[in-house]
Structure 1
Amino acid sequence: MNCFPCFQSQKSRKSLAKRENGSSASHSTDTKSVESRRQKPGDENRKGEANQVDTENIAAQALTFREVATATKNFRQECLLGEGGFGKVFKGTLASTGQVVAVKQLDRSGLQGNKEFLVEVLMLSLLHHPNLVDLVGYCADGDQRFLVYNFISGGSLQDHLLDVSPEKKTLDWFTRMKIAFGAAKGLEYLHDKANPPVIFGDLKPTNILLDEDFIPKLSDFGLLTLGPAGDKMNIPGSRLMGTYGYSSPEYSRGGELTLKSDVYSFGVILLELITGRRAIDTTKPIDEQNLVAWAQPIFRDPKRFPDMADPVLNKQFPEKDLNQAVAIAAMCLQEESAARPLMSDVVTALSFLSVASDDSNPSAPAPSIPPSE
């Protein structure tokens, strides 16, 4: 099956092989120094050294538990922003700088040791991109573990697309494509620029935050990296952290997690942006409750693509752009992970859709849909 024939290159396919076999070239985010600090065979006799991590290289502020508690008013309920698989998240203000932050309190039941936590903090502090939420601080005080991020004031994609309050304005077509494009660029950075590559693992609308200009910022990604041993991870069933409706088939079936698992999750979100429907909606008729299952027959009939558009858009979009967006989503949602495109190809395709254009500036041709197997 030839996937993304219009803009997937042989070079990008070779790039994936390099990335997922741990032989990528040097990138702007180089965390090899982190790996060099991991304990090596024979280090068990040097416990003092093994338990130390050079925190001077961590590009984030070290905070005490008292500072974190003060910032969040002792973790008051009024400061609680939400709760996810990794723990609770509170809004706070750092007394030392006055910066408004989001404080993630990690679940202590599954915590690793202090050294391993600091290694992960070091790696997270090296990840910088306009479409990622920045890590600004951390706390490793006793058995307490906190990650402190820059607070994004605009809420999440969930708030603006699926749980829209009456006072919020409906997202127009180009804003939706701008959000999709930015989220894709954030994923591309994690997959292609971070070294080793980082798998998001639980991409969903609540983890895509929006600033006042609707620029998306990916948040709450776990530090799941692809090492040199292979191209996938296997997460035990008891520790699965994906969200039903967004998880790829291979992850839902057996906990197999790869870069292409993120591509599938992105495809679900792109489909939500196009249709205004939820990934899972039990209020709809039984054959429409699962968004991907509802969309699959339509993917095979391009004449029906316009029928997928969110009714609140009132057909205010270029039909050729809608057709291409649906085609991109279909590519990302292939059952077999190998048939899905790379995020770099998705970024290339979406770049033509994220800005308004007229007939004098035609967008790229829509990718053809591979035949279903």
Structure 2
Amino acid sequence: MFRQNFSRGPLKILATWLIFFTILKASYAIKEPDVEGEALLDLLTALNDSNNQIDWDSHLVSPCFSWPHVTCRNGHVISLPLASFGFSGTLSHSITKLKYLVSLELQNNSLSGSLPDYISNLTSLQYLNLADNKFSGSIPAKWGQLSSLKHLDLSSNDLIGSIPMQLFSLPMFNFSDTHLHCGSGFDQPCVSKSENPDSTHKSKMAKIVRYASCGAFALLCLGAIFTYRHHQMHKGKSDIFVDVSGEDESKISLGQLRRFSWRELQLATKNFSESNVIGQGGFGKVYKGVLSDNTKVAVKRLSDYHNPGGEAAFEREVQLISVAVHRNLLKLIGFCATSTERILVYPFMENLSVAYRLRDLKPGEKGLDWPTRKRVAFGTAHGLEYLHEQCNPKIIHRDLKAANILLDDEFEAVLGDFGLAKLVDARMTHVTTQVRGTMGHIAPEYLSTGKSTEKTDVFGYGITLLELVTGQRAIDLSRLEEEEDVLLIDHVKKLLSENRLEDIVDRNLESYDGKEVERILQVALLCTQGFPEERPSMSEVVKMLQGVGLADRWADWKQHEEARNQELSLMTHQFVWIDESTLDQEAIQLSRAR
């Protein structure tokens, strides 16, 4: 049986096993990915995501590889922003396996049952929000052992009993709209003085109104003193993270960036209505908005800014805009930074993303014809060339894929989502560590070593070209049913070797130029070579897209590819010979035994 299967497709089987062991090796290099991944899947099952809003793919190596609503640091899950998803279950004990969890946000769902005492095992937990659910019973006494906890919100739940005294020492807590023993007639209040004003309930608002007349003047004085001292302390440093609360002050600009007030963005997005959500990722949601001057914008609200990952993403995108200005790069209009929010504001892209136009169209919507796809390939290449070779310091995007290429009104490619990008100082090594990105788009050396360079982006660009030509995803498990390769790159290589160009091209393309398609495919395969030093630079890619220097490099690639296939074939035949020899020896021994 073994020999028979091997003879059917020895190269394919061996290559499949090599890929499997490569990915398996890489997965062990990323610190116990299965433990946290399985814990998250158990947690999601217990939460009961009946609306199927959370898409966590168990086939990916690690939850840190682009799972939505999961934020990681150093290969570990640190934040789960899961508010307002309609969950109707409860909390699973598996959450205790997330030993590095810093923030858990499950407010505004319909979770029920008692508050589990095993939450006390999350020793790194700093932010816990379970408000507006249906939890019942009392607060476990063990929760008083959460030594790292800084923010706790249990408001609007059916809770009863007393509150562990240690929880009243937290910087921020909220036990209002419950039946817990606090408030009037007790020694401790239901809401801390430093509680987030955006989550305040009616009782707190009434208290604020009562004291507003006598406290307003004092607050103004304190604010003036604080602003003056803050300005003196940070003189000479960037002051872009200053809250702007007034309508008039929101017109202030810092260079080309505009500071928006929280109120202005609330109005623009209809109070961040779920109906205005146009995208979401690991750091939060993106809303469609309309400013007071009728300008359409995309508002990216970071849901976990208080964690290092979210705050770093915010600072990174603001920092990048100061050095990266190009027609094929998404422009940052402005930002809003308050004590409770981090928000980025971009131009709204009417035609959404390339991935949407390739695979997620609604009935009646326009897809991408071949001239548009070719223009996207060129535009993306020009944007990457600028990031790699014209920016100072240069920038590595680290998450290049069709979903991160937006389309403006004229279907021009605009490279966006710099949340994972990395500035590279030319005086230092051009290598960054810590694996970021999306499976199927990650270069093999980056996946196995955690080191990324400009050539990591080149690999991602090559995969994106394959997406443009085929319309398919980089990884598609459904191809297993047809006994095809799961990885898009292997699938295309096989069809190309069999001269089946018509089976490679997206079936939604009514017409295309065969020679241009072949050129794009050749560039894609040159960009996705296994060794980074063999891949072209983006300036070379731009030239090859125009046909300059492509013929020679393609001839070299074919020669090397044939040599590697011969080596694989030799290894396969040797393996089969050893197997047959072993079987023959066993047959002789069995014959003698008789």
TM-score normalized by the length of structure 1:
0.75
CA shift, 1:174, in A, is 1.9
The reply to whether residue 277 of structure 1 matches residue 463 of structure 2 is no
Q: 1:112 to 1:205 in 2, by over 3 A?
A: closer
Q: Structure 1 CA distance, aligned partners of 2:311 and 2:364?
A: 45
Residues 117-162 of structure 1 deviation map (CA, whole Å, 9 limit, x = unaligned): 6685244144221111110001121242111111111121112112
Residues 263 and 342 in structure 1, CA contact (< 8 A), matched pair in contact too: yes
Residue 437 of structure 2 is matched in structure 1 by 242
Q: Structure 1 CA distance, aligned partners of 2:488 and 2:311?
A: 42
Residue 12 of structure 1 is matched in structure 2 by none
- Aligned partner of residue 135 in structure 1, secondary structure: coil
Residues 4-46 of structure 1 deviation map (CA, whole Å, 9 limit, x = unaligned): xxxxxxxxxxxxxxxxxxxxxxxxxxxxxxxxxxxxxxxxxxx
Deviates more, 1:245-254 or 1:325-334: 245-254
- Aligned partner of residue 180 in structure 1, secondary structure: helix
Residue 327 of structure 1 is matched in structure 2 by 522
Q: 1:123 to 1:330 in 2, by over 3 A?
A: closer
Residue 407 of structure 2 is matched in structure 1 by 210
Residues 234-273 of structure 1 deviation map (CA, whole Å, 9 limit, x = unaligned): 01xxxx4311111111222232221111111111110111
Of 53, 58, 72, 2:238 maps to 53
Residue 146 of structure 2 is matched in structure 1 by none
Residue 219 of structure 1 is matched in structure 2 by 416
* Bigger radius of gyration: 2
CA shift, 1:341, in A, is 0.9
CA shift, 1:54, in A, is 5.2
Of 386, 404, 408, 1:189 maps to 386
Residues 161 and 171 in structure 1, CA contact (< 8 A), matched pair in contact too: yes
The reply to whether residue 137 of structure 1 matches residue 334 of structure 2 is yes
TM-score normalized by the length of structure 2:
0.48
Residue 271 of structure 2 is matched in structure 1 by 74
Residues 305 and 342 in structure 2, CA contact (< 8 A), matched pair in contact too: yes
CA shift, 1:305, in A, is 4.5
- Aligned partner of residue 280 in structure 2, secondary structure: strand
CA shift, 1:173, in A, is 1.9
Q: 1:183 to 1:103 in 2, by over 3 A?
A: same
The reply to whether residue 291 of structure 1 matches residue 488 of structure 2 is yes
CA shift, 1:196, in A, is 0.7
The reply to whether residue 200 of structure 1 matches residue 397 of structure 2 is yes
Q: Structure 2 CA distance, aligned partners of 1:308 and 1:129?
A: 32
Of 351, 369, 390, 1:154 maps to 351
CA shift, 1:50, in A, is 7.5
Deviates more, 1:247-256 or 1:301-310: 301-310
The reply to whether residue 231 of structure 1 matches residue 430 of structure 2 is yes
Of 291, 306, 310, 2:506 maps to 310
CA shift, 1:368, in A, is 1.3
Q: Structure 2 CA distance, aligned partners of 1:187 and 1:87?
A: 25
CA shift, 1:175, in A, is 1.6
Of 343, 346, 349, 2:541 maps to 346
Q: Structure 2 CA distance, aligned partners of 1:242 and 1:342?
A: 20
Residue 265 of structure 1 is matched in structure 2 by 460
Q: Structure 2 CA distance, aligned partners of 1:132 and 1:289?
A: 31
Unaligned runs of 5+ residues in structure 1 are: 1-46, 354-362
Deviation beyond 6 Å, 4+ runs, structure 1: 112-116
Residues 519 and 547 in structure 2, CA contact (< 8 A), matched pair in contact too: no
Q: Structure 2 CA distance, aligned partners of 1:295 and 1:334?
A: 14
State percent identity of aligned pairs: 37
Structure 2 matches for 1:85-124, cutoff 5 A?
85-95=282-292, 97-106=293-302, 107-111=304-308, 121-124=318-321
Q: Which amino acid aligns with 2:234?
A: E
Q: Structure 1 CA distance, aligned partners of 2:534 and 2:498?
A: 20
- Aligned partner of residue 257 in structure 1, secondary structure: coil
Q: Structure 2 CA distance, aligned partners of 1:193 and 1:79?
A: 36
Residues 247 and 265 in structure 1, CA contact (< 8 A), matched pair in contact too: yes
Q: Structure 2 CA distance, aligned partners of 1:180 and 1:214?
A: 12
Q: Structure 2 CA distance, aligned partners of 1:322 and 1:114?
A: 42
Residues 132 and 219 in structure 1, CA contact (< 8 A), matched pair in contact too: yes
Paired residues, number:
312
Unaligned runs of 5+ residues in structure 2 are: 1-231, 241-252, 565-594
Of 366, 370, 393, 1:173 maps to 370
Residues 327 and 367 in structure 1, CA contact (< 8 A), matched pair in contact too: no
Residue 13 of structure 1 is matched in structure 2 by none
- Aligned partner of residue 333 in structure 2, secondary structure: strand
Q: Structure 2 CA distance, aligned partners of 1:278 and 1:113?
A: 27
Residue 21 of structure 1 is matched in structure 2 by none
The reply to whether residue 128 of structure 1 matches residue 325 of structure 2 is yes
Residue 211 of structure 2 is matched in structure 1 by none
